[in-house]
Structure 1
Amino acid sequence: MSYLSYRDARMSLPSSSKPRKTLRSPNRDIAFRNQYIARSKTTLVLRPFGSPQSAVAYKITEEDGTPQFTVTGRKYSDRSCREFRDSSGLPLFELHRKWYRTNSWSVSLPGCDTATIATGSPRWALGKTSFGDFNLSFENAAAFGGKRLDEKMLTLNIERHGNALAFFDIVDGDRKVAEVKESIHHNERLALLGPKIGYRPAMDVIIMPGVDISLVATVAVIVSDWVFGSS
C-alpha cells in the first residue's frame, strides 16, 4: 500500500453497506486516560508530516492549530512503535503494529510494550478482512473503581464507509460516539483529481462529549497507517 496513489488507496476499498449512525454521546464515559475526556463536542485535525518514518509522523491539533498530540515515526523508536506525546512532549503511550498472519495493534504504556492498555484487530467478513474495519478492546479507565475487570472491558467497532471520501465511524453498541474522516478543508487536493504517490490525507476527528480524545486520536493514526499505507 505504501506505493499506491492516494486515489488508488481510496478507490480500491469497498465501502460498508451498513447505514451510518448519527453522532451521540455514550451512555457513560469512555477513556484510555480520564484527563482527556471531552466535555463538549470536539473537532481535531490529524496532519501527516514528512515521510511515514519522520521524527514527527503526525501532528494532532485543534481546528485553530493549537497542538494536542504528536506521534513519532517508527524508526525514531528503538522498539519499532509509534510514540504518542502530549503538547509539551511528554510520552503518553505507544502504538505497536504486528504483522503475524494479519494486521493487529496494541497500545501500551511508555517504554513497556508488555503493559498493554488496548488491542486492535481487523474484523472478518466472508472469510477475509474487511479493509478498514476493526475492533479496539481496552479496559475503560473511566469505569467506576468498584466494577470487576470484565465489567470494565469495552470493545469499540470501527466501521469504514464511503468511496469518494473515506469515513470511519467509531461505534459503541448502538451509538456512533466519534468519527474520523478525510478532510475537505485541510487537504491539498481531492483524490479524484488524480494520483499522487505517497500522499497521505489530513483527517478530521470528531469526538462527542464523554469520549477520550487521545483514544480517538489513536484510532485516527491506525486508519491512516493501515488504509493509506503510512507504514
Structure 2
Amino acid sequence: MSVYAAFSAAPVSVNKGLKKLSQPVGIRPDHIASEETLLYLKPQYDHRSPNEYTIKRYWDDSDIFTITGHKYGDTPAREFRDASGLPMFQSRATSLAWKRPLRVRLPGNEEAELVDFRVVANGAYKLSFRNAMAPEVVEKSYNMIDVEVRDMDSAAWSGCSATVRGQKVLDIRESISMNRTLPKGRAKGDISLMPRQILEVSVAEGFDMSLAALIAVHMADTRFSTAPPPRR
C-alpha cells in the first residue's frame, strides 16, 4: 500500500459547502461525479517523469487522470488522459495570460474551443462551455454554463473554490495531511518559496471531475509550483 493509500483509512471531514447539483454539469459525461468525491492531485517531483501530475481517488488511491506536459511549438501545453491512458483534451498556455491564460481543445481539433477560460475581475477565473449533460431538447443558448473560480485562503492553508450559478461545486486546497511541509509566512501570490504541493480536490455530486482536474492543474501550475509548466 502506498503512503497515500494509508490516509484513506483516516476519517475525512465532509465539505459542507458542497451540495448535489440538480442538473449535472460538465464537458465529459463519462466523468460526472456520482457522489461527492474527494480526489487528490499529486505532482511528480522527478522532472524526467513523463506524467507531470496524477489525480487519484482519495479513498482507494486509484488513478483517475494523468496529465502530461509537452510543447506546442514554443508554447507549454498539457494533455489530460483518463485512467486507461486515452486523451480527453489538452490545454495550452497563451501569450495573453493576464486575460486568457489557457486554450482548451479536443485532441486534433484546432478550431473548436472546448472551454473558454478567461480572467475576470479581481483575478478570478471564468470558464464557459456547453453543458454536455443538458437535455437535447433544450435550446443550445440555454446549454451554456459559467463556472467561476476564486481564491479561498485561510491562515492555515491556501486554496480556491468554484461555483455554478452561486452554488459551490469544487473546493481545492493544500493537503495538510499529505504534504510534509506547507510554506509559512509567504507574501500572497509569491510562489518563489513554495515547494510543489499535493492538493485535495473536493467535487460535488453532479460536477465533472475532468473539469475539476483542469482547474486543479491550472491552480497547481500558477499558485502551488516553483516553476511554470515544463516545455518538452
Decide: shared fold, TM above 0.5: yes
Aligned to 1:105: 102
How far off is 1:196 after superposition?
A: 7.9
Matched, 1:160 2:157: no
How far off is 1:80 after superposition?
A: 3.9
Partner amino acid for 2:160? F
Q: Work out the percentage of aligned pairs sharing the same amino acid.
A: 29
Aligned to 1:10: none
Deviations 1:81-139 (A, max 9, x none): 200011111111101221226242122111223222101111223xxxx2xx2111111
Aligned to 1:90: 86
Distance 1:114 1:181 in 2: 34
Shift of the 188–101 alpha-carbon distance from structure 1 to 2, 3 Å rule, reads closer
Q: Aligned with 1:110: secondary structure?
A: coil
Aligned to 2:50: 55
Deviations 1:167-222 (A, max 9, x none): 21110112101111111112121111899856211110111111111111111011
Distance 1:82 1:203 in 2: 18
Partner amino acid for 1:215? L
Residues 29 and 208 in structure 2, CA contact (< 8 A), matched pair in contact too: yes
| Residue in structure 1 matching 2:218, options 218, 222, 225 | 222
Aligned to 1:36: 31
Shift of the 138–23 alpha-carbon distance from structure 1 to 2, 3 Å rule, reads same
Distance 1:212 1:226 in 2: 22
Residues 183 and 193 in structure 2, CA contact (< 8 A), matched pair in contact too: no
Residues 53 and 67 in structure 2, CA contact (< 8 A), matched pair in contact too: yes
Q: Aligned with 1:187: secondary structure?
A: coil
Matched, 1:143 2:134: yes
| Residue in structure 2 matching 1:209, options 205, 209, 215 | 205
Partner amino acid for 1:223? M
The structure with the greater share of residues assigned to strand is: 1
Q: Aligned with 1:38: secondary structure?
A: coil
Residues 183 and 195 in structure 2, CA contact (< 8 A), matched pair in contact too: no
Partner amino acid for 1:115? A
Alignment RMSD (CA, Å): 2.4
How far off is 1:29 after superposition?
A: 0.4
Distance 1:222 1:119 in 2: 14
Shift of the 52–107 alpha-carbon distance from structure 1 to 2, 3 Å rule, reads farther
Distance 1:173 1:134 in 2: 14
Shift of the 32–53 alpha-carbon distance from structure 1 to 2, 3 Å rule, reads farther
Distance 2:185 2:121 in 1: 32
The count of corresponding residues between Structure 1 and Structure 2 is: 204
Q: Which runs of 5+ in 2 are unaligned?
A: 1-15
Shift of the 52–93 alpha-carbon distance from structure 1 to 2, 3 Å rule, reads farther
Partner amino acid for 1:94? Q
Distance 1:169 1:45 in 2: 15
Partner amino acid for 2:147? L
How far off is 1:31 after superposition?
A: 1.0
Distance 2:48 2:109 in 1: 21
Q: Which runs of 5+ in 1 are unaligned?
A: 1-20
